[in-house]
Every structure is written in C-alpha cells, then in structure tokens.
Amino acid sequence: MTEEGSLTLFQQQDANRRRTVWLLVCFVLFFAWLGFGGDYIYSLSTAHAPPAQRHDVWWFGVVTLAFGAGLAWYAYRTGPEKVLWATGAEEVIAPTDDRQRQLVNVVEEMAIAAGVPRPRIWLVPDPDPNAFATGNDPEHGHVAVTRGLLDLCNRDELQAVIGHELGHIKNLDVRLMTTLAALVGAVLLMRNGATRIFVGGRGTDSRSSRKSNLGPLAVVLLIVWIVSWILAPIITQLLALAVSRKREYLADAMGAQFTRNPLALARALEKIEGADTPTSRIKSGAAHMCIADPLGRRLGAHEGFLADVLTTHPPMAKRVAILKGMGYAQLKREQGTLP
C-alpha cells in the first residue's frame, strides 16, 4: 500500500490541493523571472551609464506578463468550444439508443451527487474508451465520452467515470489546465521573440561596451536568465503536466466520494488501460483533459522518472491501487473492523 493509498478521502483531497497550489506558485514565479529578470539584469548593466541611457522602467516584464495574461484570457474564453470542436464531439440532446439514455441518466444522477448543475453532454465518435470534461465553471460545464467508453463500461463503471469528470468541473480543474496551457504557449512565444531581439542587431562595439559595464553579479544572472529562456518551454510544460497529474488523483478521490464505490472506478480504469483501440479523434491538445492519456498509455503504464515527467497522467497502476485501497478501507468500516 502506498503512502497516498493509506490516506482518507478528504486527506487526499487536502494534500493534492496543497501540492497544486505550490506548483502554481512556482509556475508564476518562474514566469515572472523570465520577464522581470531581464529588466533587472539590464538595469544593472546600465547602472553607471548616463541618466538618459539607464534602464529605469521595467517595461519588458510588464509586457511579457500582460501578453501572457491576454493569451490566458483568450484561451479561457474560447477553450471549451475549441476542445469540443477539435475532437468532433456531438451534443447528446435527444438520446437515440439505450446507451445514450443511460449516459444521460448517469450524468444527471452524478450532477446531483456532486452538487453541480447538470453539464451539457457530448459524444465523441471514437472507438477508444475515454472521457473528458471542459468548461469555465460549474454553471457552464461539459462532459464528453467516447463511443468506445459506452460500449466498454457497465452502468456502475460509467457512473464512476462521470463522477471523476464532475470532480474536475467542481474543482475548476479544466479552467486551471486551460490557463496553464495558455501560459506554456505564452512562454514559448516570448522565448522566440526574445531570441530575435537579442540575436538581431548585435553590433560589436555596443556589445563590447555593454560587457564592460557588467559586474560579476550581473554576469551570473545573465547566464542563468539566458539558460532559463532556452529551457522555458520544457520547464513550463513539465510544470503543467505535474499539475495535471496531481489533479487526476484528486478527481479520482472525488469520483469515489460521489459514487461511494471506488472499486467501480478502479475497474473502469483497468478496462480503459487495457483497451488497444487507437484513438482517432483526441489529439495532443486535449490529451491532458482525458481520464486516461490517449497518446501515452504505454509509458504511463509504468512507474518511474520518465513516466512521471513525460506523461500527462499519473501511472494507472498507482491510481488503481489507491482506489482499491479506498475500497478495502470502506469495506472494513462497513464491517466494523475499522473506525
């Protein structure tokens, strides 16, 4: 039993919330360093220059943060529609078969259990079993499942999957991931822009003069800053993936809470993981939103450093083990052998 598997449901929720907050703080601090760090280094390099040539207004940091915020706002406003469109999802308004009617009934039940408004329901014509949630808030939530999931899962397992997705909506996880994706894109664009600025127009005289004005502290900071720009897209992507993995643990716990049946979600995840039908609709842009990574299951099937840093989801075996631990503890409580 893992350490996380020994925690109670609410302890897992609290632990994952704390981890997510720290990851976001680190993300924001790194983002601020990329912008204002350059201003600070430039300010040090011009500290002994004539007043007219000193860098006293830190415009680069302001511009980069404003650009990132603007891109995040745009992604926040249009993200849900773009995700649904990209996957070819079709809204289920009037169910046409028993599977769709069961899906609608399950979503309505789980919305009541989660205490959120009933989200709009979408069906992705994909044989690969999967599901995802999107939306900006619980009042404007969307839940999408693939045809493969409806064909694979029984009612209890489908209920558990929907409970997991409603956990994402209730916690505003989808809004969080949309914002993070926008910040990753903003860092990449700003890195490219900064490269053009600093590579272009490199006069020998001005460069030599600037170097002569740099003190030891400024030189060290400049090296760290340049390396940060080079590694920025990779670092920010890894931070986004880490946040995504932590939210999956929390959504699993909330799905188990809503259904009071953690073993059903464990069975559903095992079935999804065992499916070998390649996805035809869900691409990399929406992969991190799914209950299981549709593109990296082979890597995510194993624990270890590579799986932890290169996949959007935690190891499936670990998620299943935690859920089975919850089910075991719940059974023991019902039998009166646990407090």
Sheet holding 120-124, edge to edge: 90-91, 120-124, 141-146, 131-135
Q: Is 97 exposed, middle or buried (0-12, 13-18, 19+ CB in 10 A)?
A: exposed
Catalytic member of 165, 248, 273, 303? 165
Side-chain-side CA neighbours of residue 89 (13 Å)? 28
165 is annotated as an active-site residue:
yes
Q: How far apart are CA 8 and CA 275, in angstroms?
A: 30
Nearest 5°: the CA angle 30, 299, 315 is 75
Which pairs from 102-110 meet CB under 8 Å and 24+ separation? 102/150, 102/155, 102/158, 103/145, 103/150, 103/158, 106/155, 106/158, 106/159, 106/162, 107/143, 107/162, 109/159, 110/159, 110/162, 110/163, 110/166, 110/258, 110/259
Distance CA 233, CA 22 (A): 19
| 8 Å CB contact between 265 and 256 | yes
Nearest to 72 by CA among 209, 182, 227: 182
Whole-angstrom Cα distance, residue 226 to residue 208?
18
Residues 6+ apart with CB under 8 A from 121: 91, 92, 103, 104, 107, 142, 143, 144
Three-state DSSP class for residue 51: helix
- The residues annotated as belonging to the active site are 165
